[in-house]
Amino acid sequence: MPPEVRADQSAPTDQSVLVEQGLLAGKLVLITGAAQGIGRETALLAAAQGADLILSDRSDLVQETETEAKDIADARGRSLTSATVLGDLETWEGAEHVVSEGTKKLRLPDVCINAVGGTIWAKPYELYEPEKIEAEIRRSLFPTMWMCRAILPEMKSRGTGTIVNVSSIATRGINRVPYSAAKGGVNALTASLAMEAAEAGVRIVATAPGGTEAPERRIPRGPGAQTEEEQGWFREVVEQTTESSLFKRYGTLPEQAWPIVFLASDAASYINGSVLPIGGGDQG
């Protein structure tokens, strides 16, 4: 016989609501990096799947995402409860502010989706200046580490919650070694924190997106490829990413957002500590 399941670790008793009202119906979801890209797409899908939202970014463009999310909810006959919080998640103070201010405006989120990150430069590792290595780590590891540190104690105290980290299959890739190392850290963070938090009823999981087609960024991560040599290094990244995919193409934003929303939902209640590659067969 299986061991008795504690109340705070039990599976959801009625999952029909996931079909009838949406995968995230009744949940308050905090999404970082929500002004553009995967974060924005996930926010809009979460609204369509019944979630209320706390949207965070360091750009006030996140307010446009909130407006779009409200329109999506309205079109489905639902009034969206939402808030936006600006913050620089490369710092502990920024993450602490986002969690405390979001909780103050609404309540403690049921789900935290950490979508801040992304390659700033592309070049062979020996050509990275030390300050650029540090910048890549600050950009793609620390926002997730700080957000987990800021929200986990409250989730554990409440006895329930889900954290979904957005990593990358670039943990095995060329010309982005500092970024690869940062996302490798996100993977390790996810696995280790899941072991620590499970007994308290908190799930921690991650997706690892591959190359993703998206509109041109309205908030650039960096100066972009300036010289012909830099453009060549970036093309190598694109070619390697495409060739590593069994489909030989980039994914789409919806193809990245749907797995995140699934993992955030009670439909994934028995998935914990896992990193799900979303790279068209590239396992990262």
Catalytic residues: 179
DSSP readout, 167-183? Answer: --GGGS-SS-HHHHHHH
Q: How confident is the model at residue 278 (pLDDT cuts 50, 70, 90)?
A: very high
Tell me which of 3.40.1190.20, 3.40.50.720, 2.40.160.40, 1.10.3720.10 is the CATH number of domain 21-278: 3.40.50.720
Minimum mean pLDDT range among 58-62, 211-215, 260-264: 211-215
Amino acid at 270: Y
For residue range 199-215, list pLDDT tens digits in order. Answer: 999 999 999 999 999 88
The confidence score (pLDDT) of residue 224 equals 72
Cβ-count burial of 59 within 10 angstroms (0-12 exposed, 13-18 middle, 19+ buried)? middle
Tokens representing 136 are 């890549």
